[in-house]
């Protein structure tokens, strides 16, 4: 996903389509939809699995990767401990997920997963960087499209109840592709077959960075994307992010 054609930026911190409040010392979603994200519950939304990895971007100039970034940290590939970044990007190129010779100059974002990332929930033997544009194709939750008619005419509270129930049993497309087994319910954290959550993209809309009073740490966000994680719900019993 191309976000910047010139200067290097950090991946925007995504908001939730629902307002969040502190309840029992946890910052969780409540049944009130943000007006700027009502598109999530319409035909404008694309629902994509949120992978439990780390955000990594590459900067392309003249058909070559010239920089690698992990959020705001520039990755020096010759330093000890940074092999996973190079390995993941090379694996993406080998799989045909990314070809720097076929894209325009700019900064491209994706998620790095693998043995040394977040406990390796996908049980990979090597690291892999998956560009967000690839996820939008390979990890799209098609069931969300079928839910849209059910959302129409519903109150915020009724929509929240539907979404809450879905997230209790939200299984990972990527884990299923890898043959990982396990149950998914409100007593399960991110282990087993559980997905971390969903990232929502607004169809056919260019991603613009904006300031928002609720963006974490005062960082920029976007109103063309948002996210929901299972640990954003009050019932979640695992370790919260």
**pLDDT tens profile 147-199:** 999 999 999 999 999 999 999 999 999 999 999 999 998 888 888 999 999 99
Of the chain, the percentage scoring pLDDT greater than 70 comes to 98
pLDDT of 54 > 90? The answer is yes
Instruction: Report which listed range, 100-104, 184-188, 216-220, 236-240, is most confident.
Output: 100-104
Give the model confidence (pLDDT) of 15-47 as tens digits: 999 999 999 999 999 999 999 999 999 999 999
Longest Cα separation, the chain:
56
Instruction: Report pLDDT for 188.
Output: 86
Instruction: Report pLDDT for 10.
Output: 87
Residues 56-92 as b/e (b if ≥16 CB within 10 A, e otherwise) read bbbbbeeeebeebbeeeeebeeeeeeeebbbbbbbbb
Instruction: Report pLDDT for 18.
Output: 98
Task: Note whether 160 and 18 are within 8 A (CB).
Answer: yes
């Amino acid at each position: 996903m191309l976000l910047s054609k010139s200067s290097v930026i950090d991946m925007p911190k995504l908001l939730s389509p629902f307002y969040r409040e502190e309840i029992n010392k946890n910052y969780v979603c409540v049944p009130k939809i943000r007006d700027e994200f009502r598109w999530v519950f319409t035909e404008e939304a694309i629902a994509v699995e949120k992978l439990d990895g780390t955000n990594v971007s590459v900067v392309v100039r003249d058909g070559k990767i010239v920089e690698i970034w992990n959020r705001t940290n520039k990755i020096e590939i010759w330093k000890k401990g940074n092999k996973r970044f190079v390995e993941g990007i090379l694996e993406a190129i080998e799989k045909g997920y990314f070809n720097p010779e076929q894209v325009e100059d700019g900064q491209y974002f994706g998620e790095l997963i693998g043995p040394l990332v977040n406990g390796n929930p996908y049980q990979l033997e090597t690291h892999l960087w998956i560009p967000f544009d690839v996820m939008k194709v390979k990890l799209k939750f098609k069931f969300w499209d079928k839910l849209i008619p059910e959302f129409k005419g519903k109150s915020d509270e009724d929509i929240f109840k539907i979404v809450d129930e879905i997230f209790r049993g939200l299984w990972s497309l990527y884990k299923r592709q890898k043959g990982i087994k396990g149950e998914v319910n409100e007593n399960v954290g991110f282990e087993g077959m559980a997905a971390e959550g969903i990232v929502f993209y607004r169809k056919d809309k260019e991603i613009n960075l904006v300031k928002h009073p609720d963006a974490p740490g005062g960082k920029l966000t976007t109103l063309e994307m948002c996210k929901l994680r299972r640990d954003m719900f009050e019932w979640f019993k695992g370790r919260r992010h």
